[in-house]
Amino acid sequence: MSCSSSSGGSEEDDEGIDCYRKGGYHAVRVGDTFNAARYVAQRKLGWGQFSTVWLAYDTRSSSYVALKIQKSAAQFVQAALHEIEVLSVIANGDPSNSKCVVRLIDHFKHTGPNGQHLCMVLEFLGDSLLQLVRYNRYKGLALNKVREICKCILTGLDYMHRELGIIHTDLKLENILLSSTIDPGKDPVKSGLTPILERPEGSLNGGATMNIIEKKLKQRAKRAVAKISERRASMGGVVVQKSERSLDGIDMMCKVVDFGNACWADKQFAEEIQTRQYRAPEVVLRAGYSFSVDMWSFACTAFELATGDMMFAPKNGQGFSEDEDHLALMMELLGKMPRKIAVGGTRSKDFFDRHGDLKRIRRLKYWPLDKLLIEKYKFSEADAHEFAEFLCPLLDFAPEKRPTAQQCLQHPWLNLRTSTQSEMNNESTVENLDSRVSKLQIRGGW
């Protein structure tokens, strides 16, 4: 596996062994201690392009924390120093820890066989919103739950933008974590986990590497068995229906995380920012950017929560690039881009002619957001219009016209309290089914 895997992990859900070398990851074993034995590693939580993240026990505060261990090469150290600087400013400005942004607790250096690694200690949070959407089988969450999540994200963005002057630049489902785990059994406090305070006996130096290899082999075996089962089911004409998953009891409070790519509005580092599907048009066109790029990404995130699908998923095509397809998808949903904006970036000539029309994608199929929600995602007309009214201003091609996070927090859609029509329909269907089952039970003498 390449060392340049995305921060969301790979299909195999581990970082591979190739990057456990000089300049790379630090091999961690359960029971390893850090920072003068203050933190004890419990289990791996995840990994990214720059680091691995471990659940650790803080012996000083008797609490669980997330320990982020950066790769040791110079460029990764530099990235970690930048993230620590940003997180320190965030923590100092939020002593009550109420702004819906992850909290930095501590940071230190740790020397290992692969070099010196910068480590960050962060508050322990739960699963990402991407994991929540996957858990819900990509069906889209009930709008009341989407509202709860949106309020948290906007609270975090408002704090970053208005009070600190920070642009996140990579807002997406993976970079927003629930305050608690979806499965209470995976929460070390709720599950009553007894902390490991010393390395288990028989743990060899190669333990971390062997664990990765064993895990990879087990995952491959599981996938092979699943494919065989699916093939048998399809050959036998058997349709396997997945059971419904309830989101009841899952706390939708969440926090914005991962500030490795964040920048100050008046001190920007890169022209190309944001993960592709959440990238704003001004970034594609290289027309400069500010806080409003986060608002565009926020709208894409809210849509994905409500539908289970990405708002924009551009691809390369015959004779056109991924960037041009992305611009075409934006216009099909939002209408033609104003000429002034279309031709206003340093890369505009790559995509648009002097009239503001795309050079290589000529036929656009317009499908406005409210109609898309009704026709494809079966929203009620009221829900579709209200949700589109909330999202569309955030997707204005003119960045300066997009509402701020502070303005969004005042929007009527966020403060609706009534059940949506679709949710009421679902409740009505369940009640009808319950009624029919009761009648059957009486007739059948169950």
68 known member of a binding site: yes
CA-wise closest residue to 260 among 81, 109, 55: 81
Q: Tokens at residue 416, please?
A: 């609706």
Query: Is 170 labeled as catalytic in the residue annotation?
Result: yes
Catalytic residue among 14, 127, 158, 170: 170
Report whether 106 contacts 384 (CB < 8 A).
no
Q: In 100-235, where does DSSP find H-type helix? A: 129-135, 143-158, 207-235
Q: How far apart are CA 52 and CA 208, in angstroms?
A: 12
Contacts of 346 (CB under 8 A, 6+ apart): 285, 286, 287
Backbone angles phi, psi at 121, to 5 degrees: -110, 120
Residues 6+ apart with CB under 8 A from 347: 284, 285, 286, 323
* Residues ≥6 apart with Cβ < 8 Å to 16: 1, 2, 3, 5, 212, 216
| Spatial strand order in the sheet of 104-112 | 33-34, 39-47, 51-58, 63-70, 115-123, 104-112
In this structure, what are the phi and psi dihedrals at residue 113, rounded to the nearest 5 degrees?
-60, -25
DSSP tag of 315? -
Alpha carbons 6 and 49: distance in angstroms, whole number: 6
Distance CA 104, CA 107 (A): 8
Classify burial at 125, counting beta carbons within 10 Å of its beta carbon; exposed 0-12, middle 13-18, buried 19 or more.
buried
Residue written as token pair 């807002």? 171
Give dist(CA 353, CA 195) in Å, integer.
Answer: 63
Distance, in Å, from the CA atom of 66 to the CA atom of 187, rounded to the nearest integer, reads 12
Residues flagged as binding site for ATP:
68
Residues flagged as binding site:
68
As annotated, the active-site residues are 170
